[in-house]
A and B are shown apart, each in its own frame.
Chain A
Amino acid sequence: MTKRIRNRLIIILAFTLLSVYQFAGFPPSLKNLRKNIHLGLDLQGGVQLVLRVKTSDAIRAETDQTIESLRAQFQKENIPFKDLTRTQDNRFTVTGVDPSKASAFLKIMTDVHPEWDVSSTASDAYAVQLKPQQEATFRQQSVDQAISTISNRINALGVTEPTIQRRGRNDEILIQFPGVSDPAHVESIIQSTALLELKIVEGLGSFPSETSALQQYGGVLPAGLQIIASVEHSADGSQTYYVVHTSGGITGRDLKNAYVSRDPNNGRPAISFSLNAEGAQKFGNITEQNVGKLLAIILDNRIQSAPQLHERITDQGQITGNFTQKDAEDLALKLRSGALPASMEVEERTFVGATLGADSIRAGITASLVALAAVLVFVLFYYKASGINATIAMFLNLVVLLGAMAAMGATLTLPGIAGVILTIGVGIDSNVLIFERIREEMRTGKNAASAVLTSFNRVFITLVDTHLAALISATFLFLFGTGAVKGFAVTLVIGLVSNMFTAVFVSRTLFEIVLARKEASESISI
C-alpha cells in the first residue's frame, strides 16, 4: 500500500467516524440517533401555525396613546384646543389650537414626541404623522413583543421543544409544537390578545342593545364615549351593552401579576390581578374620582363584568364572571404573559396526527430500502467487483449525509427522506458516469491503471458541472421553500456535496487499492 493510498484511507476513515459520531453518538445507539436527527413535524406529528401579526393595530394603539398623552399635556400647559382626532392608523389632526400657543404646542411635540412629524394645515390646525422610520420600528417591535408573549404563554403551557420564530415576510411568525394533539386549545391560548382594559362606565347600567344605548344621546354618541358589548346576559338571555369612557382608563401594560382566586360572593373561580406602581397610581386617581360609578373590566374588547366602585382602589382587583376553573387558569396565564401588542391572523395551520407521522416514517423507510436494494442489485450485477466500489461509496455518502445533517441540526422531513433517496440516485449516477468512462477508455486499448486515471480526471470536470448546476436549483428551492420543502432542499444540498466527496475521492481511492495489488497489464472487473 503506497503512502498516498494510506493517507487517503485515513482521511476517509476519519470522515466516516466523525459522521457516525455526529448522528449516532458514542457509543453509537438508536437512542442517540433519535436525539441527533431532528424529525420534522410531518414525521413526528404536532401542530404548526403561521400567524401574521396585524402590526397596524400596534401603530393605531401608539397613535391613540400619543393623543391621550397630548390631551393631558395641553391641559397641564394650558393650551386651549378644539379637537384631537386620529384620521389614519399613523396620523392624527389637532384643531383649534390658539395661534398664540402654537410655539408651545410645537415645543411639546419636539420635546416629548420627537417621533412625529408635524405640519401646519391652517393657522390653528395641524396634521401629525408618525415618522416612517419610527413606524417601521414600532411594527418590528410589535412582532418581537408578540413573539416574546407567545413564548411566555407556550412555556407556561409546558409544550416540549416548541419553535417560535419569524418567518418570511417580516410580520409572520412560525410556531411549531411537536407532539401536540389538541391544536384548538393551544391556538386559543396563543391567539387571544388578552388585552385587559379598565374603563369607567358612563351612567349606571347596561343596555339591551346598541340602539337603545344610543338613544340616550339622541342617536349620536358624544366624543370620548364608546359602546362595548358585555359577556353578561340580561334576564331574557339577550346580550347587554355598556357605554364607557374611551380615555382615562388603564390597560394590561400596567399589570404586574394575575392569578386564579375565588369570587368571595359565590366561591366561583375568578382572576385576581395586581398593578405595578405606575398603574396603581393611575388606578388610584381614577377610582377616587369615580367612586359610586361602575368600572368596566374589559378583556379583548368584551366587558367581563362591571362592578360598582365603592372606594379608591390602588393596586389590586378581581375579575369575576362565569369562569370555569380551566377558563380562569387560562385567562390568568394569558394576562400574566402580557397582552399581545396586536391581534393576529392565522395564515397557515397544519396538524399532523401521530399515526400519520408514524405512517410516513414507515413509508419513507420502506421506499428508501427498496430504492437502495434495487440500485445495489443492479450495480453489483452490472459492474461486478467495481459495483462493490459503488456500493461502499454510496453507503459512505449516506453516512456523511446523516452526519452533516446531525451536525448542522437540520430537520429530516418526509420530503427530506425523498431527498435522501434522490441522493442515492445521484450518487450512483456519478459512479456510473465514471465506470462507463473507464470501460470506454479500456476499449480504446488503455491498460486498467491508465484508464482509471484518465477517467477520473476527465469525469471530475463533468461532475463539477453537473453538481454545481444541481446546487443552483437546490439553492433556489431552499430560498423559496418553507418547512418540509426546506428540509428537502437541505438534504439535497448536503447530499450533493457529500456525493462529490464519495464519488470522486472515495471511489477513486478504492480503485487505486485494487490497482495497487495488480500487475500493470492486468485488467479490472468492471
Chain B
Amino acid sequence: MIELFKGIKVDWIGKRQIFFGISILLLVIGMISLIQKGKFQYGVDFRGGTTMKVQFKNPAPNIDLIRQALEKGGATHSQIQQLGDPIEGKFQIEYGESEKEAEATQGQAVITKALDTAFGGKYENLGSEYVGPSVGGDLRQQAVMATLYALGGILVYIAFRFEWIYGAAAVFAVFHDTLVTLGIFSLFNKEINLTVIAALLTLVGYSVNDTIVVFDRVRENLKIRRRDDLESILNDSINQTLSRTILTSGLTFLTVLALFLFGGEIINNFAFAMVIGIVVGTYSSIAVASPLVLIYTKLRGQGSAPSPTAVKMPRTAKAR
C-alpha cells in the first residue's frame, strides 16, 4: 500500500490565526490590485464591443503595421494583442469599448474592411464576436445573481443536512475562494468573461465538496466521541480526510492543468480560474471553513461541541 499521508496529526485549528492572516492578505492584495486598476478586465461579452481573432499568413506584419492599417480604415482606438507563439501570426483586435453604439455595431465590418484594404488575401478571420452595450451590463448583473443564488442554495442545503453554522461556514469559505480567484484575475490582468463565471460557479460546487467531506466526518466523529471537545474533533476530522482531500484535489488539479496547458487559448481563462480556484478551494476547506465553525461555537460560549442531538442525523442508507 502506497500512502502519502499516514498518521498525520497537524493542529490545523490551532493555527487558525495564521490561516486567517493568509486569507486576509490574499483578499487585500486582490482588492488593492482592483482599486489600483479601477476595474476588472472584462471580456467582450461583459463590456460590449467587438473582438476579432485573425491569423496572418507568413510572414505576419508587426503590430504597428496592423494598427496603422486599422487607423487608416477608420477603426481608431482599437487594441491589438498578439496571441500565442509569434510564429503563428495570430492577433486579437478589440474595438469599440466606449464608441458610439452605431459605430460599435459596425465594428466587425470596419475592421474587416480596413484589414482587407491593407492585407487582402494575406490573413484569415478566425472568429469574431460583437456584443451590444446593453447586453454586457445585464450579463454582469446576471452573473453576480447566479453566483449569489448558487451560494444561497448551497447554504440552505448544508444547513438542512448539518447545522446552519456548517452551511454558513462552507458558503463563507467558498465565497472567500471566489473573491480570492477574482483578485488573482485582477492581479494578473486576466480577462473575465462568461466562461470564467462558469468556472467560478463550478468552483463553488467543487470546493464546497471538500468542505462537505470534512464536515461529514465531523458529524460522524461527534456521534462517536461525545466527550471530546470540538477543537480536537475538527482537527482529527481534517487529518482523517486529509489524504483524500489532497489526493482528489491533486487529481482534479492535474485535469484542469491539462486543460490550461493544452486546451487552447479560447478556454484558457476558464482553465486558469479552475487551476487557481482548486488550489484556493482546497486550502479554504481546511483552513477557513472548520475554524469558522469553532469560532462561532466559542462565541456562543460553548467550549465543547454543540450537543450531538442538535446535529441533524442524515438518514443512513441501508446496505443492500
Contact = CB atoms under 8 A, between A and B. Distances in A.
A415 B267 contact: yes
Nearest to A439: B1
Contacts of B264: 359-360, 362-364, 367, 414
A30 interface: no
Interface string B125-136: 111111110110
Contact of A348 (B129, B198, B251, B267): B129
A432 B241 CA distance: 11
A368 B319 CA distance: 35
Interface stretch (B18-26, B59-67, B149-157, B225-233): B149-157
B198 A489 contact: yes
Interface in B152-173: 153-154, 157-158, 161
Which residue, A353, A371, A440, A473, has most C-beta atoms of chain B within 10 A?
Answer: A473
Chain A interface size, under 10 / 10 to 19 / 20 to 34 / 35 or more: 35 or more
A103 to B, nearest CB: 47
Contact of A350 (B1, B129, B134, B208): B129
B154 A415 contact: no
B109 interface: yes
Given A363-B263, A424-B255, A433-B244, A481 B198 contact: yes
Nearest to B263: A367
A268 to B, nearest CB: 27
Which residue, A348, A359, A425, has most C-beta atoms of chain B within 10 A?
Answer: A425
Given A439-B1, A462-B216, A473 B201 contact: yes
- Secondary structure call for the A interface: helix
B205 A471 contact: yes
Given A458-B220, A477-B198, A481-B194, A414 B266 contact: yes
A422 B194 contact: no
Interface residues of B, number: 74
Interface string B52-83: 01010000000000000000000000000000
Contact of A476 (B109, B149, B158, B259): B149
Interface string B169-210: 000000000000000000000000011011001101110110
A167 B239 CA distance: 49
A465 B263 contact: no
B311 interface: no
A349 B198 CA distance: 20
Interface string A184-202: 1000000000000000000
A59 to B, nearest CB: 20
Contacts of B108: 183-184, 349, 351
Interface string B2-29: 1100000000000000000000000000
B317 to A, nearest CB: 5
A408 interface: no
- Secondary structure call for the B interface: helix
A421 B212 contact: no
B205 A472 contact: yes
A353 B108 CA distance: 14
Interface string B221-245: 0000000000000000000110110
B142 interface: yes
B87 interface: no
Contacts of B270: 415, 418
Contacts of A368: 258
B35 interface: no
A395 interface: no
B252 interface: yes
A453 B319 contact: yes
Contacts of B198: 415, 477, 481, 485, 488-489
A168 B124 CA distance: 33
Given A415-B267, A473-B154, A481-B194, A347 B134 contact: yes
Contacts of B32: none
Contacts of B258: 367-368, 370-371, 374, 421
B286 to A, nearest CB: 15
Contacts of A488: 195, 198, 202
B132 A367 contact: no
A184 B108 CA distance: 9
A461 B134 contact: no
Interface in A285-342: none
Contacts of B197: 480, 485
30 contacts: A183-B128, A351-B128, A353-B126, A353-B127, A355-B126, A359-B264, A362-B264, A363-B267, A364-B263, A367-B261, A370-B261, A370-B262, A374-B255, A375-B251, A417-B263, A417-B267, A422-B252, A422-B274, A428-B251, A433-B244, A433-B248, A461-B314, A468-B157, A469-B205, A473-B201, A474-B201, A476-B153, A476-B201, A477-B150, A485-B197
Interface of B: 1-3, 45, 53, 55, 105, 108-109, 112, 124-132, 134-135, 142-143, 145-147, 149-150, 153-154, 157-158, 161, 194-195, 197-198, 201-202, 204-206, 208-209, 212-213, 216, 220, 240-241, 243-244, 247-248, 251-252, 254-256, 258-259, 261-264, 266-267, 270-271, 274, 314, 316-317, 319
